[in-house]
Amino acid sequence: MVNFVEITILGSGASLLSPDRVLAGLMIETANKPLIFDLGAGVLHRLSCSQPDLTAIEHVFISHFHVDHCSDVPALMQSMWLMGYENHLNIYGPKQIENAFKGITLIFPYLIPKLPLKLHVIKPGFQVKNEDWNVTAFPVDHGDMETYGFLIEADGKRVVYSGDTRPCAETIKHAKGADLLIHECSLPDRMKELAPNHTTPGELGALAAQAEVKTLVITHLYPELLKELGEALSSIRRSFSGKVIVPRDTQIITI
Ligand SMILES: [Zn+2]
Ligand SMILES: [Zn+2]
């Protein structure tokens, strides 16, 4: 029985692969319910280690429709079906979710009738509320790609997941004073021009300091950043004095 908030980093890697990090995904458990955020390649396997009973999952939030954040969705659906899924699966995502599921229906027509599924289109201000937890979606800045970050409130705690984004005011606003900020930190400061729609360590340190978060978890880590991890952490530390976690996949953080 989980009676606090547990965050499992399922995938902390990025599309240039690291052998021990799969693509984007995390699970937040509260009141014994797993909420899934992003499902990139490899996340389903990590999930099977961390939450073997996939049939307990009822809510999957997709931050945006870059492949590294959603490609395991049909694979999850197939595993749930074979495990005798009887719940109602809610999948939340930006408008592109409608086309994504038209595509899944065309390519895997056998799959859609196999489990009760409800799609929810996320727009700015989108919220899901119930007695145990609230999730608020907020738009972030990932270039031309419609992308949302998420504020999860449960058991008196506040957790923010950035999705993919360059530093943006909406993230600072929603993360203000948060217990935990899980933020992408893709490439070293020196490579900023290669990834203008992502966040570098120096930028992230400044953002975390401005938001006054208690703990920062860095994710969406490219191999170049991991090779220069010491420098990246120093760069974050120049502005941010709170706790910084560089997670391994399947690491559990309890707050
Ligand atoms: Zn992206
Ligand atoms: Zn990404």
- CATH number, domain of 21, equals 3.60.15.10
pLDDT of 31: 83
1 part of a folded domain: no
For residue 185, the ligand closest to its alpha carbon is 2
- What average pLDDT does range 130-149 have in this prediction? 97
Ligand showing the shortest atom-to-Cα distance for residue 24: 2
Residue 87 lies in a domain: yes
Instruction: Give which of 67, 55, 85 is closest to 25, Cα–Cα.
Output: 67
- Domain annotation covers residue 169: yes
Does residue 178 form part of some domain?
Answer: yes
**DSSP helix/strand/coil, 178:** coil
* pLDDT single digits (tens) 49-90: 998 899 999 999 999 999 999 999 999 999 999 999 999 999
| pLDDT tens digits, 195-237 | 999 999 999 999 999 999 999 999 999 999 999 999 999 999 9
Specify if 101 maps to a domain.
yes
- For all residues of the chain together, what is the average pLDDT? 96
Q: How many domains does the chain have?
A: 1
How does pLDDT run across 177-199, given as a tens digit for each residue? 999 999 999 999 999 999 999 99
Cα of 143 vs centre of ligand 1, distance in Å, is 9
Please indicate, yes or no, if residue 228 is contained in any of the structural domains: yes
Q: pLDDT band at residue 151, thresholds of 50, 70 and 90?
A: very high
What is the pTM assigned to this prediction?
0.97
Residue 3 is predicted with a pLDDT of: 55
- Give residue 202's domain range: 6-254
Is residue 217, in this structure, part of any structural domain at all?
A: yes
Neighbours of ion ligand 1 (CB under 5 A): 66, 164
Model pLDDT, residue 4: 74
Reported in sequence order, the residue ranges of the chain that DSSP labels E, i.e. its strands, are 6-11, 25-30, 33-37, 59-61, 89-93, 117-121, 127-129, 133-139, 148-154, 157-161, 180-184, 215-219, 243-245, 251-254
**40 within domain boundaries:** yes
**20 Cα–ligand 2 center, Å:** 17
pLDDT in tens, 1-56: 445 799 999 999 999 999 999 999 999 998 888 999 999 999 999 999 998 899 99
